[in-house]
Amino acid sequence: MYNEQAIIVNKLENGNDLMEKGIIRVENLSAYYGELEVLKNINLEISPNKITAIIGPSGCGKTTLIRCLNRLFETVPRTRFSGKIFYKERDIISYDTTDIRKEIGMVFQRPNPFPTMNIYNNVIAGYKLNGLKLSKLESDQLVEETLKKVALWDEVRDKLYRSSTELSGGQQQRLCIARTIAVRPGVILFDEPCAALDPISTSKIEELMLTLKEDFTIIIVTHNMQQAARVSDFTAFLMAGQLIEFGYTDMIFTSPKDKRTEEYITGRFG
Amino acid sequence: MKIQFDKDLEILGQMLIDMYKKVEELIKLSNKVLFEDDVSRIEEVSKLEDKINYMEVEIDNHCVTLMARHQPTAIDLRFILSVSKMSNHLERIADLGVNVVKSVKYISSNVLKEYIGDMKLISIISNQMVKDAMSAFIEHNTEKARAVCVKDDEVDALHKANFRKFLDEILKSKIDPESGIDMVFISKHFERIADEATNLAEEVVFYVQGKNIKHHLEDKVELH
């Protein structure tokens, strides 16, 4: 009934295979703040339409890593990186920065809807700010479709032209996710998206991520290991700028190969 | 440092060892009843069984509490799961020891005297397997655990030989059928004790190495 070959094939059929070409491929990435090396020779492939969690102790380079992926890292003075990052097999350096940040969107720790815009305009902000014209019908359809996708439509349909700041923290975060997916990225980066939210809002965001991965590739940085265990398909463990272990989440959380991974996830350090 | 959780895990491990000590005591008593015809120990066996059952429930409760409170992962998760299952296997071993004692009551004493030597070897090996499996747990010794699993075939062969012998004795009218069948039951109980010892050993490998070697699956598939 079982044989080794069948298990490998099974992984390939599910598209759930580390050998499959990643939508993002990181090769020998090192990143520096001045002389300080904060990422050390990272090699990683992100599988499409999966959730990859990046975990590790504070200061290990998790946020730096994801900010490299959409070139936000280079907006900070005196930073540089070496190595390569490929998005859909193309070096991200060859993309225009606006284009790559549209393709690889980001949701931040603190919900940050644009305070001067109402809910409706927050959703289509990506188009407005880039001078992309949408007809009224197209905008209305996009707003409704996107807000439904983030399970916010029913809560805000009667107040689309009210300020986004009137929403609760959890609603604001879902609005930010709507804003990100409205421009139809390939990848969404979540940088500790639930750190400022209560448990119920957190649960809603996690449920949302599981739905979104049908259409998007998701990378989430989180300090909450139970969250990583709950939502992700793959987990990468970073420590002091190095990638210590990467694999299927169920393997990382039941039988990690590296002792340091085990010590971290069992809470014995970090 | 998760000091309290580590203490709780130590307590859980000690609870399992304490339970094993009671099971070991029960098996020794059951062997006294069987091999020395010492029926005065039967009530003691029954009291020990009650105590062991209670200990199994306590271990189960402790495991559930630890999982609810601490959401353990990796080796901690495997340890708690393994201990929970091992307590079930130890409880079954105790049941089998009680079954040996119950079977003895139905065997005529002259049959017992003549044939009891046939049970000595299977009893020694199966009891030693339990001891080795638990010592593998204490020492985190997966080699010792795997050696226990290998021994199971030897016990299976001994039981088959016992079964054929007693069937033969019954067919040749050298032994009354009821006694013959109960002797086969006793042999079967020891064979089952060996199976449970194998289960204990498999849990040790799972806990220490994260490998599931049940049903010889390790030879056939890499589970991760």
Give the pLDDT of residue B221. 47
Give the pLDDT of residue A5. 29
Tokens at A162, concatenated = 């009210």
Assess whether pLDDT exceeds 60 at residue B76. Answer: yes
Phi/psi for A43 (5° steps) reads -125, 125
Residue extents of the structural domains in chain B: 3-219
pLDDT tens sequence across A236-253: 999 999 999 999 998 999
CA distance B80 to B71: 11
Assess whether pLDDT exceeds 90 at residue B2. Answer: no
Comparing alpha-carbon positions, the chain A residue that sits nearest to B3 is A268
C-alpha neighbours within 13 Å on the C-beta side of residue B141? 12
User: Are A188 and A107 within 8 A, CB to CB?
Assistant: yes
Give the residue ranges of DSSP H helices in B105-141: 109-115, 117-139
pLDDT tens sequence across A204-233: 999 999 999 999 999 999 999 999 999 999
C-alpha neighbours within 13 Å on the C-beta side of residue A55? 30
- Which of B6, B9, B69, B73 to mutate against chain A (most A CBs within 10 Å)? B73
Residues of B with CB under 8 A from a CB of A: 1-2, 5, 71-78, 209-211, 217, 220-224
- Quote the Cα angle for B161-B195-B114, to 5°: 35
CA distance A220 to A218: 6
E strand residue ranges, B30-178: none
Does CATH number 1.10.1280.10 belong to domain B3-219?
A: no
Among A2, A265, A266, the residue with its CB nearest the CB of B220 is: A2
Assess whether pLDDT exceeds 50 at residue A10. Answer: no
pLDDT > 70: what percent of chain B? 95
Comparing alpha-carbon positions, the chain A residue that sits nearest to B224 is A251
Interchain CB distance below 8 Å, B224 and A262: no
pLDDT tens sequence across B54-63: 999 999 999 9
Assess whether pLDDT exceeds 60 at residue A20. Answer: no
Interchain CB distance below 8 Å, B71 and A226: yes
Q: Rounded mean pLDDT of chain A? A: 90
Cα B212 off chain centre by:
19
Query: Long-range contacts for A211-214 (Cβ within 8 Å, ≥24 apart)?
Result: A211/A149, A212/A149, A212/A177, A212/A181, A212/A188, A213/A49, A213/A50, A213/A51, A214/A49
Tokens at A126, concatenated = 């990506």
Interchain CB distance below 8 Å, A268 and B2: yes
Give the residue ranges of DSSP H helices in chain A: 4-13, 62-69, 97-103, 119-123, 125-129, 136-149, 153-156, 169-182, 199-212, 225-231, 249-254, 259-265
Interchain CB distance below 8 Å, B220 and A267: no
CA distances from B59 to A175, B11, B42, B87 (A): 47, 10, 26, 7
Complex ipTM over 0.90? no
Residues of A with CB under 8 A from a CB of B: 2-4, 6-7, 225-226, 229, 248, 250-251, 253-256, 261-262, 265-268
Q: To 10 degrees, what angle do helices A169-182 and A136-149 make?
A: 130
Interchain CB distance below 8 Å, B73 and A251: no
Residues of chain A contacting B221 with CB distance shorter than 8 Å: 2-4, 6-7
Q: Name the minimum distance, in Å, from the CA of A123 to any CA of chain B.
A: 37
B111 CB contacts (<8 Å, ≥6 apart)? B175, B176, B179, B180, B183
Tokens at A36, concatenated = 């300080």
Among A4, A6, A255, the residue with its CB nearest the CB of B74 is: A255
Residue A82: strand pairing partners: A30
CA distance B17 to A216: 50
Give the number of beta-carbon pairs within 8 Å between A and B.
Answer: 48
Question: pLDDT higher for B71 or B137?
Answer: B137
Q: A99 in a domain, yes or no?
A: yes
Give the pLDDT of residue B215. 81
Q: Rounded mean pLDDT of chain B? A: 92
Assess whether pLDDT exceeds 90 at residue B108. Answer: no
Give the mean model confidence (pLDDT) for residues A183-194.
96
Comparing alpha-carbon positions, the chain A residue that sits nearest to B2 is A268
Q: What is the number of domains present in chain A?
A: 1
Interchain CB distance below 8 Å, A4 and B72: no
> Among all chains, which residue has been given the structure tokens 């420590």?
A239
Phi/psi for A242 (5° steps) reads -110, 145
Q: A16 in a domain, yes or no?
A: no
pLDDT tens sequence across B36-57: 888 888 899 999 999 999 999 9
Assess whether pLDDT exceeds 50 at residue B139. Answer: yes
pLDDT > 70: what percent of chain A? 92
Among A4, A6, A253, the residue with its CB nearest the CB of B74 is: A253
Q: Strands A187-191 and A104-107, how do they pair?
A: parallel
Residues of chain B contacting A256 with CB distance shorter than 8 Å: 74
**By 3-state DSSP, what share of chain A in percent is helix, strand and coil, each rounded to 5?**
40, 25, 35
Assess whether pLDDT exceeds 90 at residue B219. Answer: no
CA distance A245 to A252: 8
Q: Name the minimum distance, in Å, from the CA of A141 to any CA of chain B.
A: 43
pLDDT tens sequence across B153-197: 999 999 999 999 999 999 999 999 999 999 999 999 999 999 999
Q: What is the CATH number of the domain that holds A206?
A: 3.40.50.300
pLDDT tens sequence across A43-98: 999 999 999 999 999 999 999 999 999 999 999 999 999 999 999 999 999 999 99
Residues of chain B contacting A251 with CB distance shorter than 8 Å: 224
Which domain does A69 fall in, by range?
Answer: 22-117+180-265
Q: Of the ranges A78-82, A257-261, B111-115, B137-141, which one carries the lowest mean pLDDT score? A: B111-115
- Quote the Cα angle for B23-B24-B28, to 5°: 115
B90 CB contacts (<8 Å, ≥6 apart)? B16, B19, B20, B23, B52, B56, B196, B200
Interchain CB distance below 8 Å, B73 and A253: yes
Torsion angle of the four alpha carbons B164, B170, B174, B176, in this order, in degrees rounded to the nearest 10: 130
Cα A65 off chain centre by:
11
Please count the other Cβ atoms lying within 10 Å of the Cβ belonging to residue B6. 13
Tokens at B192, concatenated = 């089952």
Assess whether pLDDT exceeds 60 at residue A11. Answer: no
DSSP reduced 3-state for B25: helix
The reported pTM is 0.82
pLDDT tens sequence across A130-159: 888 899 999 999 999 999 999 999 999 999
DSSP reduced 3-state for A29: strand
Q: A166 in a domain, yes or no?
A: no
